[in-house]
Amino acid sequence: MDRRRLIITAGALLSIATVVAAAVIAARDGSTSPTVAGPAGTTTSTVAPVGRPGATGVGDPYFPDAGNGGYEVDHYVLDLTWEPTRQHLDGVTTVSAVATAPLASFSLDLIGLDVRAVEVDGDPARWERRDHHELVVTPARPLPEEATFTTVVRYEGTPAPIAGPAPLEPGFMTDGREVYVASEPNGAATFFPSNDHPTDKASYEIRVTVPEALDVASNGLLRETTSGDGGTETWVFEATDPMATYLVQVVVGNLRFEELTGPAGLPIRNAYDADLGEGAGAAFRRQAEMIDFFDDLFGPYPFAAYGVVVVDEALGFALETQTLALFGSDALAEPIVAHELAHQWFGDHVSLGSWRDIWLNEGFATYAQWLWAEHRGEGTVDEIALASARTPGLDVPPGDPGADRLFHTTVYVRGALTLHVLRHELGDDAFFELLRTWVDRYGGASATSADFEALAGEVGRRDLSGLFDAWLRAPGVPTLADWL
Q: Please say whether the structural domain 8-352 has been given the CATH code 2.60.40.1730.
A: yes
Give the residue-averaged pLDDT of 128-157.
96
Strand 126-130 and strand 134-138: the pairing is antiparallel
Point out which residues pair with 92 in neighbouring strands. 79, 154
Nearest to 359 by CA among 400, 322, 326: 400
- Of 48-52, 192-196, 243-247, the poorest mean pLDDT is in 48-52
Reply yes or no on whether the pLDDT at 418 is more than 60: yes
pLDDT at 416 over 50: yes
Nearest 10 degrees: Cα torsion 216, 286, 378, 375:
120
Q: How far apart are CA 337 and CA 351, in angstroms?
A: 19
Instruction: For residue 176, count other CB atoms closer than 10 A to its CB.
Output: 9
CA dist., res. 406 & res. 164, Å (int): 10
Q: 387-396 burial by CB neighbour count: b if 16+ within 10 A, else e?
A: ebbebeebeb
Band of residue 18 on the pLDDT scale cut at 50, 70, 90: very low
- Provide the 10 A C-beta neighbour count for residue 224: 10
- pLDDT tens-digit profile of 252-279? 999 999 999 999 999 999 999 999 988 8
Point out the least confidently predicted range of 38-42, 47-51, 108-112, 121-125.
38-42
Side chain identity at residue 412, one-letter code: Y
Compute the distance between CA of residue 52 and CA of residue 106 in angstroms, rounded to an integer: 9
Q: Describe the crossing of helices 381-388 and 359-375 by its angle, rounded to 10 degrees.
A: 130
pLDDT at position 25 is 31
Question: Among 422, 381, 246, which residue's Cα sits nearest to residue 319?
Answer: 246
**Of 160, 155, 159, the residue nearest 41 (C-alpha):** 155
Torsion angle of C-alpha atoms 288, 332, 240, 177, degrees rounded to 10: -140
68 and 109 Cβ atoms separated by less than 8 Å: yes
Q: How much is the average pLDDT of 131-157?
A: 97
pLDDT of 29 above 80: no
pLDDT value at position 166? 64
Q: Where are the domains of the chain?
A: 8-352
Q: How far is residue 57's CA from residue 355's CA, in Å, rounded to a whole number?
A: 13
The Cβ of residue 457 has, within 10 Å, a number of other Cβ atoms equal to 16
Contact by Cβ (8 Å): 327, 317:
no
SS (H, E, C) the chain: CCCCCCCEECCCEECCCCCCCCCCCHHHHCCCCCCCCCCCCCCCCCCCCCCEECCCCCCCCCCCCCCCCCEEEEEEEEEEEEECCCCEEEEEEEEEEEECCCEEEEEEECCCCEEEEEEECCEECEEEEECCCEEEEECCCCECCCCEEEEEEEEEECCCCCCCCCCCCCEEEECCCCEEEECCCCCHHHCCCECCCCCCCEEEEEEEEEECCCEEEECCEEEEEEECCCCEEEEEEEEEEEECHHHCCEEEECEEEEEEECHHHCEEEEEEECCCCHHHHHHHCCHHHHHHHHHHHHCCCCCCCECEEECCCCCCCEECCCCCEEECCCCCCHHHHHHHHHHCCECCCEEECCHHHCHHHHHHHHHHHHHHHHHCCCCCHHHHHHHHCCCCCCCCCCCCCCHHHCCCHHHHHHHHHHHHHHHHHHCHHHHHHHHHHHHHHHCCEEECHHHHHHHHHHHHCCCCHHHHHHHHHCCCCCCHHHHC
| Mean pLDDT value of segment 30-57 | 54
**CA 380 to centroid of chain Cα atoms:** 31
**pLDDT attached to residue 167:** 62
Q: Among 18, 6, 11, 39, which Cα is nearest to 387's?
A: 11
Model confidence pLDDT, tens digit, residues 62-89: 999 999 999 999 999 999 999 999 999 9
Model confidence pLDDT, tens digit, residues 274-328? 999 888 999 999 999 999 999 999 999 999 999 999 999 999 999 999 999 999 9
User: Largest Cα–Cα distance in the chain?
Assistant: 71
Pairing mode of beta strands 267-273, 308-310: parallel
Q: Can you give the pTM of this predicted structure?
A: 0.89
pLDDT band at 131, cuts 50/70/90?
confident
